[in-house]
Amino acid sequence: MPLWLTLAESSLAYFALAILLLGLLRHILLTLWDFVRAYRHAGDQSYLPVWQLVWKSIQWLLPTGHLRKAKPWFVFASLAFHLGILISALFLVNHLDILRTLVGVAWFPIFKPVLDWVTVVAILGGVTILFYRLSPRGARAISRGADFSLLLLFLGIFVSGFVAGRPWNPIPYDQLMLFHTLCGFAIVVLIPFTKITHCVLFPLSRIGTELAWRLTPHGGEDVARTLDGSEERKI
């Protein structure tokens, strides 16, 4: 059995999976506890519009509402990159075979020709994001080394996985797949410790925003009047 497949089905894979699940569970529990504390201290403890917040979260997942405020090409590049990660990770038959071996559960795969196009689009989206982070001064100023490292790591996974299955692949298949597998393990382990935690925390962000602004009744109007200067207050 090739070394990359042995690693993918070994105790190392179970370890990486445990780090992923326990780390994300920790983030979720801490976030929910922060919500409870924020609600206890909220000035307005009236009914929380959960379904409205869910709908707002769904709207934030779609790019149409952000095109006027951001560069359309960057929005679509980011969407293509994120969708490529999700689709290729969750619906590639090789990944599902490994998942079935590890936990005994899997679902239907997507045909490889479709995933090949998804991979190409995701690579183009990732390269676009990389150049965007390098080019404008504003984007470069807020980008850290970890941002570039994670982006390059994802691109390495996409490119190695795509090239490995091509007849013109110049690198030995097993060596390239070993690189692909090790990069995949690295991402899985790093998810709970990096910004990628937004994969589970993003749906909760709208609730956090709502709780943060639950002031006392009419508190929002008082703040607005104070900031606008229409109400004098003693200091």
The amino acid sitting at 99 is L
Report the pLDDT averaged over residues 208-217: 62
List Cβ<8 Å contacts ≥24 apart for 65-69: none
Domain-located, residue 83: yes
Q: Is the pLDDT of residue 64 over 60?
A: no
Give the burial class of 158: count Cβ atoms within 10 A of its Cβ; 0-12 exposed, 13-18 middle, 19 or more buried: buried
Phi and psi, residue 51, nearest 5°? -65, -35
Phi and psi, residue 44, nearest 5°? -110, 110
Domain extent at residue 119: 3-24+51-213
Model confidence pLDDT, tens digit, residues 138-182:
666 666 777 888 899 999 999 999 998 888 888 888 899 999 999
- The CATH number linked to 192 is 1.20.950.20
Domain-located, residue 33: no
Give the position of tokens 């590890």: 102
Give the burial class of 161: count Cβ atoms within 10 A of its Cβ; 0-12 exposed, 13-18 middle, 19 or more buried: buried
pLDDT attached to residue 62: 66
pTM for this model (two decimals): 0.78
How many domains does the chain contain in total? Answer: 1
- Nearest one of 5, 184, 200 to 102, comparing CA atoms: 5
210 vs 130, higher pLDDT: 130
Domain-located, residue 226: no
